[in-house]
């Protein structure tokens, strides 16, 4: 869960978790130990989030401009754009290597501080840190909240409404458009999270859930008290 980014916590805590993992696997730090592989210790998306977003070219204002752009794309201008993209990608890869090296160095420094900690102790400390997240132990699914419908509307034969028109709870408004969320299935409740945020948008105890099931190969419906929630996911 940690490496897949399903434990929302600070970068400092993620580095501590990585150090504890190294201690449990390799015992005390040694200069003769092989350099740890970052992808086996730290969520890759955290490093990628440090990179600047790609620049998008401004949209062409008229059909003639789009036509000229299309004609030029195959000529010298197209070659120049391809060169610029290659240089940009090379700079981003270099930046990613720098960020990775910096993160590995920080993890190793924390690993050195754990000298003398036994493997069971390191494993227990690792689990204790992860358990601080309220969603620990849940099975998480990536879903898009596609639409909602009240039971009154369902009884009147009304269609589903876009998710933008409804709130999950008074404290947790859903914004415009489809919402990418985590659907957490726990032992006592089903919870909805915004990815990367530790506190749930809403949580439904199983006593509040009247029905659930897959509508087809990519949609999942959850009926909670006076609402139906329709999700789209590739994990049905």
* The predicted structure's pLDDT at residue 167: 47
* Residue 84: partners with Cβ closer than 8 Å, 6 or more residues away: none
17 pLDDT more than 90: yes
Q: Tell me the per-residue pLDDT of 158-200, one tens digit each, with 9 for 90 and over.
A: 554 554 434 455 444 444 456 789 999 999 999 999 988 888 9
Closest to 2 (Cα-Cα) out of 130, 122, 124, 182: 130
**Cα–Cα distance for residue pair 98/32, rounded to 1 Å:** 23
- Structural domains of the chain, with CATH: 2-51+77-132 (1.20.80.10), 139-232 (2.30.29.30)
Q: Is the pLDDT of residue 78 over 50?
A: yes
Lowest mean pLDDT among 14-23, 56-65, 148-157, 194-203: 56-65
Two structure tokens written together for 101? 């090296």
The yes-or-no verdict on residue 98 having pLDDT over 60 is: yes
Q: What is the pLDDT of residue 152?
A: 57
């Amino acid at each position: 869960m940690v490496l897949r980014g399903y434990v929302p916590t600070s970068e400092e805590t993620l580095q501590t978790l990585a150090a504890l993992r190294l201690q449990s696997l390799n015992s005390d730090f040694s200069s003769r130990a092989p350099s740890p592989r970052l992808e086996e210790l730290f969520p890759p998306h955290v490093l990628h989030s440090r990179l600047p977003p790609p620049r998008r070219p401004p949209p062409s204002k008229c059909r003639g401009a789009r036509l000229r752009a299309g004609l030029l794309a195959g000529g010298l201008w197209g070659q120049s754009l391809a060169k610029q993209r290659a240089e940009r990608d090379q700079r981003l890869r270099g930046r990613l290597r720098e960020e990775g090296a910096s993160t590995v160095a920080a993890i190793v420094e924390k690993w050195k501080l754990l000298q003398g900690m036994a493997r069971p102790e390191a494993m227990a400390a690792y689990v204790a840190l992860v358990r601080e997240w309220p969603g620990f132990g849940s099975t998480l699914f990536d879903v898009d909240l596609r639409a909602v419908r009240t039971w009154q509307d369902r009884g009147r034969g009304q269609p589903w409404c876009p998710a933008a028109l409804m709130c999950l709870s008074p404290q947790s408004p859903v914004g415009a458009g489809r919402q990418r969320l985590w659907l957490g299935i726990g032992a006592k409740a089903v919870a909805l999270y915004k990815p990367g945020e530790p506190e749930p948008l809403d949580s439904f105890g199983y006593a509040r859930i009247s029905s659930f099931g897959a509508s087809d190969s990519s949609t999942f419906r959850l009926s909670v008290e006076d609402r139906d929630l329709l999700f789209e996911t590739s994990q049905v």
